[in-house]
Amino acid sequence: MLSTYWSNLGFSCPHCRYRLVMRERPADRRLWTWVVLLGFTGQLAWTVENMYLNVFVYDTITDSPTALATLVAASAVAATIATLLAGAASDRTGRRREFIAAGYVLWGACTAGFGLVSVDTAASALPMLDAVVVAVIAIVVLDCVMSVLGSTANDAAFNAWVTDSTHPGNRGKVDGVLATMPLLAMLLVFGALDPMTKGGHWALFFSIIGGVTALVGVVAWFGLREPRRPRPSGTYLSSVLHGLRPSTVRNQPRLYVALAAWAILGTSTQVFLPYLIIYVQRYLDIDGYAVVLAAVLLGAAVISIVGGRVLDRVGPSRAILPVAAVYAVGLLLMFPARSMLGVIGAGVVLMSGFMLGVAAISATVRNLTPPDRAGQVQGLRMIFAVLIPMVIGPFVGAAVIAGADETFVDLGVVKQVPTPWIFPAAAVVVAFIVVPVVLLRKVDAPPTPEPKSLETTT
């Protein structure tokens, strides 16, 4: 077995094997250290942007679901453009470390800035205008800047670095772990920092998350190493546009079919995710909603980590449809769930299916990524996994919420509240994933992936 392993990696000298094994083990440890550190810290910042920023706006500025949907969609557009540009740039320079480290520092600083936006500040700065409108515009603009920085550092550079540093034999496991990072980040935020949001200490909340993100960026500048990979030919503009050309789609149909599956899964998630905390807190009226979310996230994280190992064994592309079915079942179970235990049970099924679905599709996309265009593919991933879902999904959810027209009274103010119908709506959307999964099995298989590279550069 050892001889087969080394021959698969392209090595044949028996006298060098022991030395290479000893080099590989520290490399594996370094890989997992940075996967966990950068992946987890990035998801802390994205948790603020994807979930708590909506709560911040809802509690302090406006309860309009359209305003929340606009916030999500605008940031998605900004993030996608940034990833396309930064991903191509990191491919051409071959230096992803700078993009990751500097990006995390600036990302953290921008996240801390959210706490400076309020209706009172807007009224003081521009008293002749509607303070709520000014505050909404300010938070949308700041969110777009934050999304540009975060996408450059995390979505473009870090995810490309992960593709460079892994191989088809371990990508299911790595992506299974990465898929748990949003859950673990939410768990930490809910458990340690949520009391700050309940007490209205938003500035301190944003400052802590921003400070941690910036600190990790400094650490990455001095410690992160990069694998050696080929660089794309042609001009920078051609690198940016390469993945958008019809000829590229024709040459790599399986990659784009896999990305289409990601768009469907992501759109389904965005139907309910931006409103999830508000739903649990306001509609279900569960005071201990942090306990509910903690139980769901821990259960789903364990299942996702274990399931990631299974993905490598059965093949990530083959697992997409079964785990999407688990996710759909979880969505349908959420509709009638009202008690704390019921919501926990349904939530574990839902989030486990979703996380494994993300891991399966992500590993499939990595396996189909050309070796010299890992950064560019991150731009495509943002189009399919972020832009399309975050432009379409929240507005579908907002339409469902507006159609249900259920409200509650908060300090004498009537506010709209999300209803359980967002979950069946999300289940209808994810059912369309059957189409790309079937096509993925029918189109021609790609060439055999290149062997893993052990060489690194500081």
Residue 12 in domain: no
How far is 177 from 158, CA to CA, in rounded Å? 15
Three-state secondary structure string covering the chain: CHHHHHHHCCCCCHHHHHHHHHHHHHHHHHHHHHHHHHHHHHHHHHHHHHHHHHHHHHHHCCCCHHHHHHHHHHHHHHHHHHHHHHHHHHHHHCCHHHHHHHHHHHHHHHHHHHHHCCHHHHHHHCCCCCHHHHHHHHHHHHHHHHHHHHHHHHHHHHHHHHHHHCCCCCHHHHHHHHHHHHHHHHHHHHHHHHHHHHCCCHHHHHHHHHHHHHHHHHHHHHHCCEECCCCCCCCHHHHHHHCCCHHHHHHCHHHHHHHHHHHHHHHHHHHHHHHHHHHHHHHCCCCCHHHHHHHHHHHHHHHHHHHHHHHHHHCHHHHHHHHHHHHHHHHHHHCCCCCHHHHHHHHHHHHHHHHHHHHHHHHHHHHCCCCCCHHHHHHHHHHHHHHHHHHHHHHHHHHHHHHHCCEEEECCEEEECCCCCHHHHHHHHHHHHHHHHHHHHHCCCCCCCCCCCCCEEC
Pair 185, 43: CB distance under 8 Å: yes
Q: Supply 261's token pair.
A: 């599956």
Residue 1 in domain: no
Question: For residue range 234-286, what is the model confidence (pLDDT) as tens digits?
Answer: 677 777 777 778 888 888 889 999 999 999 999 999 999 878 878 888 888 88
How far is 32 from 433, CA to CA, in rounded Å? 31
272: buried, middle or exposed (CB in 10 Å: 19+, 13-18, 0-12)?
buried
**Predicted confidence (pLDDT) at residue 413 exceeds the cutoff of 70:** no
Residue 105 in domain: yes
Residue 94 in domain: yes
Residue 21 in domain: no
Higher local confidence (pLDDT), 288 or 112: 112
**Predicted confidence (pLDDT) at residue 27 exceeds the cutoff of 60:** no
**Predicted confidence (pLDDT) at residue 447 exceeds the cutoff of 50:** no
Pair 347, 294: CB distance under 8 Å: no
Question: For residue range 350-384, what is the model confidence (pLDDT) as tens digits?
Answer: 989 998 898 899 888 888 888 777 777 878 888 89
Mean pLDDT, the chain, integer = 80
Q: What Cα–Cα distance (Å) separates residue 306 from each residue in 179, 299, 314, 354, 421? A: 12, 11, 13, 14, 31
Confidence of residue 25 (pLDDT cuts 50, 70, 90): low
Residue 135 in domain: yes
Confidence of residue 90 (pLDDT cuts 50, 70, 90): confident
The β-bridge partners of 413 are 410
Work out the average pLDDT over 431-452: 71
Residue 18 in domain: no
**181: containing domain:** 26-443
CATH number at residue 272: 1.20.1250.20
Longest dimension (CA), the chain: 79
Short-list 185, 191, 176, CA closest to 352: 176
Buried b (16+ CB within 10 A) or exposed e, 374-386: bbbbbbbbbbbbb
Confidence of residue 79 (pLDDT cuts 50, 70, 90): confident
19: buried, middle or exposed (CB in 10 Å: 19+, 13-18, 0-12)?
exposed
Residue carrying structure tokens 């896999």: 258
Residue 276 in domain: yes
The count of domains in the chain is: 1
Question: For residue range 56-65, what is the model confidence (pLDDT) as tens digits?
Answer: 888 888 777 7
